[in-house]
Structure 1
Amino acid sequence: MYDSLQSSIGHDANFVPLTPTSFLSRTADVYPNRTSLIYEDQQYTWAQTEQRCQQIAQALKGFGLSQHDTVSVLAFNTPETFEAHFFVPMAGGVLNTINTRLDEPTVRYILNFAEAKAIVVDRELLPLAIEGIRDRQKAGVRVPVILIDDPAALNQPDLPDDLEIHDYHSLLQNEITKADYLPCTVDNELQPLAINFTSGTSGNPKGVVYHHRGSYLMSMGTISGWPLPMHPVYLYTVPLFHCNGWGHAWTMTAMAATVICVRYIVPTKIFQQMQQYQVTHFGGAPIVLNMLANAPDCPDKISEDRIVHCMTAGAPPPAPVLAKMEGMGFDVMHVYGLTETYGHILQGTAQAEWSEASQDEVAELKSRQGVRFPMTESADVVDPETLQPVAHDGVEMGEIVIRSNTTMTGYLKAPEATEEAFRDGWFWSGDLAVIHPDGYIQVKDRAKDIIISGGENISSVEIENALYKHPAVNEAAVVAMPDEKWGETPCAFIELKQGVTATEQEIIEHCKQHLAGFKKPGKVVFGGLPKTATGKIQKYELRTRTQ
C-alpha cells in the first residue's frame, strides 16, 4: 500500500541534499554572538565568521570561479583556512587543502594535477606555490592568489610581480548584506566537496575525492561517537590539510564551538592556551601527544576542574605515552581511519569494566583501533585470499575492509587505482589487523610492512610498542632486514630521548622481556628517523638502509 507514495519520494519538501556548509548558516542564525574563532589577538563571533565566508565566496565568484573548479589552500591553521572550508563550497568550488610541509616539486605537482583555478596561500608558504601557479598561467588559466599576510609568520618573502595577488583582508572590505548571501545548499549531495592528497610515501600522491554527503555524515558520527557536547572549546592542533582537519571545521561549527586556531605546535604555548581558554577538546597525531608528554615543562595536571578530551589518530600510539597523557588529566580516545575514509571510522571506545583495570592496562586497551564509529556501516578484518572474516581471537591476521558513506568517491584521474581499492563490495585499507574476543580491532601492520621470519608473520607495530616501553626511547620504527637463515629478521631504528643513552644489547634484552624470542630485533640502529611531510616515519627509506 505504500507504493502510492512513490510520487512524493524525493520531493523538494522532504529531501534536501546534505552538505556540511549548512552547519554555518544554522549556527550563525542560532548563536550569532557566541565566539567562533580565536587566533592570537583576533576574535570573531559566528555571525562575523559567516559574513567573512560569504565575502570571500563572493570574491571567488567575481574572479570567475565555476562549478566544481578546484581552489587550493596552502596555509596554516589560521582563521582563513578554517573559513575556506565554507567559502570554497559556497562559491561552488572544490576545496584542496595542501600539506604545508611538502616540498616545492610536490606542491607544484598537486596544483597542476588538481587543475587549480585559484589559490589561498599564506605569505610564508608562497615560495612553495609560485612555480605551480606559473605553470597554470602558462596553460592559459587565470589563477587569482588570495594572500594571507599573517603578522605571526616567521618570514614574509617578497611578492613576485607576475602573479595576480589579492590581499585576503582587503577582500573583506567589500560591502555585503544578508540579502547578498549565497545559499549553503548543493544540487547533488554526492558532488565533489574536497580533494585531499595522500601522503605519498613513494611516488606522487593520489588525489582522494570527498563528497558533501560523506563530510556531513562524518560530522554527525563524530558528534555522537566522541561524543561532543554543545559549545565545546576546541584547540585546533590537527592540521587542516589532513583529511580536512578530520572534518572538525564542519563538526565544531555544527556544535557552535569556540575554536582556538594554532599556527605552530609549540608544547609550552599549547599548555598555556589550554589553561587560558579552558579547552575541553583537542586532537593530535601520536607524535603531538609524544611532544606534550615529554615536554620539559609539561604540567602534572592540565586542569584541576575538568578533563580535557583528546582524539588521537595515526600510527598506534605507544601505551606509555597514553598512560602519561591520562595521568595529566586527558581522556584520550584512539581512532583509526585513512585519507580515503574522510579520517576516523573506528574508535577505541572505553568500556565500563575497564575502570577496574590498572592505568597501564587501560592504556594498552585504548591503544587498539577499536570498534565502528556510528556513521561507519561496516568494518571487518578478512582473509584477502578466502574473503572470510578472521577469528575473534586476537591472533589471526587479515586486512581491514570498510563499507561506509564516509568512503571516498575515488582517486582523481586514476580509475585503475580506484578499481583496485574497491573490490568485492569493500574498500580495502591495506592495513593488517586482528580482532580481539571483545570485538575490538587492532592494527598490526601495513600489508607491505609485515616481517616474515622463518615462515612466521611478525608485526613491526608489536615490536615498536615494546620498544616504547623502554624509558630511553623517544621514537622507534621496525622494518624487515634480509637474513640468510630466516629470510627476514626485525631491524629496529631508534631515536633516543634527549640527554639519555642506551646500548643495542640493552634494547634487545628489553624486547626479550616483552616479546617472544623470535620477534626481538636482530639489529638496533640509533639516530634520527626520516619522516614524510605529514610526520609519518618513512619505513621504505629505513628498508633501503638494511640492504
Structure 2
Amino acid sequence: MLCSRFVVMFMQVVAMAPNVPALYELHFAVPMAGATLSALNVSLDEHALTIILHRLRPKIIFVDSEFAHLVSKVIDNKNNTHLQENHYDHKPLLVAIHDVSPDHRTQCDLEVPEYEQTLATGESDFQAVSPADECGPISVNFTSGSTGTPKAVAYSHRAAYLNSLGLILRYDMGKSPVFLWTVDMFRCNGWCFTWAMAALGGINVCIRNVSAKIIFDSIQLHKVTHLCGKPTILNMIAESPPVDQKRLPSVVIGIIAGTFPTIPVLERVQKLGFNIVQGYGMTEALGPALIRPWRSWQHHHEDNHDDHNLKYREGLHNITLEAADVKDPTTMQSVPSDGETFGEVMLRGNTLMAGYLGNPEATREAFSGGWFRTGDIGVRHVDGCIEMKDRARDAIVLGKELISTLDIEAVLLSHPKVVEAAVVAQNDVVAGQVPCAFVKLKKGECSNSEEILKFCEEQLQKTAMIPKSVWFGDLPMNSTGKVQKSVLRDRANAIGKHCP
C-alpha cells in the first residue's frame, strides 16, 4: 500500500554541493535532526535557484564554497520578487563547505560560518530525532524539468528505507561494497545509494568531478565494486585514451539509467571489465525502478532473440516495488504482452514519492486510478519485460498510429559518425506530424542529410519512421544533461514554416 496521506513538511534544510563527503554526511545529519533535506543541482542558475528557494523556504543552506556567492546573492537580493511574494520573514543561515581534498581546495571569502566549525558547536550528547510517522518526509528532490517546470518531489522515510534495501538485493552489493560516486547525490539522493551504502557499512569514494581518468584511477586505488549514473559515463569510458584505461582489480558493476548507448560502446566497456545494468526510472520513483543486466551480442545470438529489442528493454521492477505494468490510460486495462500494443507505463508500490510539495492536485492526478502514471509510452513483451518507447508528449502522431522517437534515435546513434541524436515531431500539412532529426557528429567526422537519411531507410522498418529532415549541431541540454526536446520541437516547426 502507498502512504496515501501527504504530511506537512518539517523544517527544510538545503544543500548545494558536488559529491563531497559533507553532502553525504548531511543525508544522515539532517533527518536525524528532525528536518528534511533538499540537495540541489549545482548547475542551477540564479533564476532557477530563486524559484526553488522560494518554494522551500529553508532555515539553513549548506553550500560548497564554489557556489556560495551565487546562493548569497539570491538570498540577499532585496529586489527578488519571488522572496518578497513569499513574505520571507527570515534570512536562511548560510554555512560554507570547504573542499579540503588536495586537488580541489576551495575557500569562501564571505563572512559565513564554515561547515566543520559549525559541527563542532553541536551538543555531544544530542539524541537523534526519530520520525513520528514513517510516512513523514525525509527529503525533497526536484525533477529535471525536461517535460516542463521542475516539480518538488517529497520522499518518505518508509520509501527511502525500502528502496535502499531493494538496491542491496537487486545490485548484488555484497558485504563490503566500494561505491564510486559518479552519480550526483542531488539526483534522487544518489538514487538512495547514500543510505544503502551506510546499511552495508561500505566505502564511499567521493569525487568532485567525473572523467575517465578519475574513474580508472579511483577503481584501481580503492578497488571499486559499483558505480552508476548517466549513459554518458559509458561513452566517456569507452572513448578514453588507452593511457587512462588502467586494468581493473575486479569486475565493476555499472548501473546506467537513461537512453542506452550503442552496442559497440557497451561491448568496449564490457571488455574493459564492467558489467552493465540498465535502469529505467524517474525522480518520483526514487531513481531506477525497472532494471535489466545488459547481455553481450553473443549471448543474444545464442538465445535466438532480436538484439535490438533485448537491448532496449528496461526489464523487471525492483523487488520492493509492488508492480509495474503497461496500461490503457483510459480503461486502466493491461495491454497485451505482444511487444507491439502501446500503453502508459505505470508503477505501484511503497518505493514511490509521497507527493509533490505544495501541489496536491498534481499529486492526485499522478496517482489517479491507484497507479503512478509515468507519462511514458511503452509495450510489454511475452517474457514480461517492459520496453519504454517514448514520453507521451514526445511521440509522433501519424493518423491513429504513434511513432516512437526513441526507436528512430536508436538507429541514428548506431551510425558510426553520430555521437548524439534527438528526434522530435514536426507539424506537417498532409501527415499531421513527421519525424525531424537533430544529430551531432563525432569529432572530426563529416556527413550530410542524404547520407543519414539513406542509412535510416536501410535500418528502419517503416517508411513513416524515416525523418523528413536532418539538422546538424550541438543539442540543447538542460542542467541535468537531458536534451530539451521542447526547444527542438519549436526549432523544427520554425524550420518547417520556411521549407518549400
**TM-score calculated relative to the size of structure 1:** 0.82
Match of residue 117 from structure 1: 59
Displacement of 1:289 after TM fit? 1.8
Distance 1:496 1:222 in 2: 36
Match of residue 251 from structure 2: 307
Query: What are the superposed Cα offsets for residues 201-250 of structure 1, whole Å, 9 maximum, x if unpaired?
Result: 36532110000000000011111111210111110110000001100010
Distance 2:492 2:297 in 1: 44
SS of equivalent to 2:59: strand
> Is 1:334 the counterpart of 2:281 in the alignment?
no
Query: What are the superposed Cα offsets for residues 239-265 of structure 1, whole Å, 9 maximum, x if unpaired?
Result: 000001100010111111111101111
Q: How many residues of Structure 1 are paired with residues of Structure 2 in the alignment?
A: 476
Match of residue 531 from structure 1: 477
Distance 2:144 2:434 in 1: 27
CA contact (8 A) 1:309 1:330 kept: yes
> Is 1:322 the counterpart of 2:269 in the alignment?
no
CA contact (8 A) 2:278 2:294 kept: no
Match of residue 498 from structure 2: none
Match of residue 289 from structure 2: 345
Q: In the alignment, which of 297, 317, 337 is matched to residue 392 of structure 1?
A: 337
Q: In the alignment, which of 8, 14, 23 is matched to residue 72 of structure 1?
A: 14
Distance 1:197 1:440 in 2: 28
SS of equivalent to 2:23: helix
- Calculate the aligned-residue CA RMSD, in Å: 2.6
Distance 1:463 1:235 in 2: 33
**TM-score calculated relative to the size of structure 2:** 0.89
Letter matched to residue 92 of structure 2: V
CA contact (8 A) 1:189 1:212 kept: yes
Q: In the alignment, which of 84, 102, 115 is matched to residue 168 of structure 1?
A: 115
Q: In the alignment, which of 190, 196, 203 is matched to residue 251 of structure 1?
A: 196
Displacement of 1:367 after TM fit? 3.4
Letter matched to residue 347 of structure 1: I
1:383-532 aligned within 5 A: 383-516=328-461, 517-532=463-478
CA contact (8 A) 1:301 1:329 kept: no
Greater Cα offset, 206-215 or 259-268: 259-268
1:219-230 aligned within 5 A: 219-230=164-175
Greater Cα offset, 264-273 or 124-133: 124-133
Letter matched to residue 484 of structure 2: Q
SS of equivalent to 2:139: strand
Q: In the alignment, which of 80, 83, 98 is matched to residue 149 of structure 1?
A: 98
Query: What are the superposed Cα offsets for residues 91-144 of structure 1, whole Å, 9 maximum, x if unpaired?
Result: 111000001111111111111201111010001012332243236698221421
Alpha-carbon spacing, 1:243–1:175, altered in 2? closer, same or farther (3 Å): closer
Match of residue 179 from structure 2: 234
Letter matched to residue 464 of structure 2: F
SS of equivalent to 1:488: strand
Alpha-carbon spacing, 1:500–1:67, altered in 2? closer, same or farther (3 Å): closer
Displacement of 1:302 after TM fit? 4.5
Greater Cα offset, 381-390 or 73-82: 381-390
SS of equivalent to 2:284: helix
Displacement of 1:405 after TM fit? 0.5
Displacement of 1:154 after TM fit? 8.3
Query: What are the superposed Cα offsets for residues 264-321 of structure 1, whole Å, 9 maximum, x if unpaired?
Result: 1122222211122121110011122222222234766752x52110001123444443
Distance 2:429 2:247 in 1: 51
SS of equivalent to 1:150: coil
> Is 1:266 the counterpart of 2:211 in the alignment?
yes
Distance 2:105 2:446 in 1: 34
Letter matched to residue 428 of structure 1: R
CA contact (8 A) 1:319 1:364 kept: no
1:372-391 aligned within 5 A: 372-391=317-336
